[in-house]
A and B are shown apart, each in its own frame.
Chain A
């Protein structure tokens, strides 16, 4: 459900009209609009945003680890509309055990590497991704370094 305070935001209202069940919550803070999207709706929402609301560019995809809270992971998308000169942040919350979400590479091909990076460093799996491999770290690396429970100090000698 979209909070009352966001009803006058054109983008948020249009998305609400497109699919009311997709928008879980939202906030407008420091001039930046954040919408929380239901994870299973992310591809249809992104398609609508790109083709109907002209958010032609996906600036970045990244993750956020809210450990030890549950749902633990957030996948964060930053979108840019050149026509409206407007930015938008989408967020999908995923559970700590086996986090999975659909890939948006079919909407923006440029999501490919950003999703690979998120997979590499957070361990979030992107379904239907054309080439989901580690990108920054070696193939045989263990663990996902940007998780909050990743050990950052080695054993003392």
Chain B
């Protein structure tokens, strides 16, 4: 007989409290209304969300590392790929940062063209947002109307740069090419008709009872929460905070334009819709002003060590040939230092932190994507609401996962 004793087996206790009836649901990464590859782990009780855990990183491509092996000018092409709905905003922010390090003076024609085209980018991005957001909520036809106008904008980009999406049209020191002949006509045709197109979208949605029912009071957040969580852009303005980098830290001659910063106070999905629609009207105003007052002159800075010389000069002048050879083979040196440049992209605050060690390659480039900061607020916004409202709520954030994961 061994003296080992068997452990006492306890009788199963009677359950007093009912077990929590929660279940876990994966929304994404291949869910059509997450606009890319966002995965939300939702813990549900019936249809109510108890907990939400966003999971990102599916589109991480190491762009920040790639900056370190490109020359400054080559790296412009990387910035397009970060936020593929607002490539020109990213181009602009990166160029402004490097130009600040170089201390370059950009001629007025280039500055105004930059303003005009980044406003076109804002229209482009807001149109995609409006179309897809409406489709998520169930309004099919708005999508078709929005993409009709977007097509015109992409044609304008193509006219300028030869590319529809990844334009890389802004370069360090100015623009890649001279503005094309006859651009005024194309831009005027578009911009004269555009405000009436915005009226069309509003007719479809603004007083639509289903639209209001799905968006009013949904996805509400306070300004304090949003500031604390790093939310920027139209979401903040929809809660009543009048902050816009174009007014607060004017760049690229935005201070010479007359426009308003639209705000709402409700801070819900409907308010974000109202703010973005009004932003489209204001962008149209800016484009009109740029069209009418476009200065003349050079489109690149007077900096032969940075800007490639004209073909004509390169073939006739020794000095231009030397500069051309130096820039193409090794790039240009940027004085050591660090800058953090921000602009107002369609989604919020884009920031480029560029560190130079005095060589021809950036030592470090950090991109603050607005979608990254905004997505952090998803749990705060959706916890406690219904699962059907998640679609409306995250749609109203207008994020781009490429911008978030980089």
**A residues engaging B (CB < 8 A)?**
29-30, 32, 34, 56-60, 62, 64-65, 76, 78, 82, 85, 87, 89, 108-110, 112-114, 117, 121, 134-138, 145-146, 150, 152
B338 within 8 A of A: yes
- List residues of chain A with CB within 8 A of the CB of B351: 59-60, 78
Q: How far is the CA of A135 from the CA of B375 in the complex (A)?
A: 13
Interface of A (DSSP majority class): mixed
A62's partner among B230, B241, B353 (CB-CB below 8 A) is B353
Q: How far is the CA of A136 from the CA of B62 in the complex (A)?
A: 9
A interface footprint on B337-348 (CB within 8 Å = 1, 0 otherwise): 111101000000
- List residues of chain B with CB within 8 A of the CB of A112: 376
B355 within 8 A of A: yes
Whether the pair A110, B353 counts as a contact (CB closer than 8 A) is: no
- List residues of chain B with CB within 8 A of the CB of A134: 57
**A-B interface, 5 closest residue pairs, ranked by CB to CB distance from nearest:** A110-B230, A60-B368, A136-B60, A62-B366, A136-B57
Q: Please give me the residue from chain A that is nearest to B366 by CB atom.
A: A62
Whether the pair A57, B227 counts as a contact (CB closer than 8 A) is: yes
- List residues of chain A with CB within 8 A of the CB of B243: 82
Whether the pair A87, B340 counts as a contact (CB closer than 8 A) is: yes
The smallest C-beta distance from A78 to any residue of chain B, in angstroms, reads 5
Given the known interface contacts A30-B100, A60-B353, A64-B355, the answer about A152 and B69 at a Cβ–Cβ threshold of 8 Å is yes
Interface of B (DSSP majority class): mixed
Q: How far is the CA of A110 from the CA of B372 in the complex (A)?
A: 10
Q: How far is the CA of A58 from the CA of B227 in the complex (A)?
A: 8
Whether the pair B349, A59 counts as a contact (CB closer than 8 A) is: yes
- List residues of chain A with CB within 8 A of the CB of B353: 60, 62, 76, 78
Q: Please give me the residue from chain A that is nearest to B245 by CB atom.
A: A80
The smallest C-beta distance from A111 to any residue of chain B, in angstroms, reads 8
Whether the pair B229, A109 counts as a contact (CB closer than 8 A) is: yes
Whether the pair A58, B230 counts as a contact (CB closer than 8 A) is: yes
Whether the pair B57, A135 counts as a contact (CB closer than 8 A) is: yes
B56 within 8 A of A: yes
The smallest C-beta distance from B377 to any residue of chain A, in angstroms, reads 8
Q: How far is the CA of A113 from the CA of B406 in the complex (A)?
A: 14
Whether the pair B338, A145 counts as a contact (CB closer than 8 A) is: no
A interface footprint on B234-247 (CB within 8 Å = 1, 0 otherwise): 00000001010000
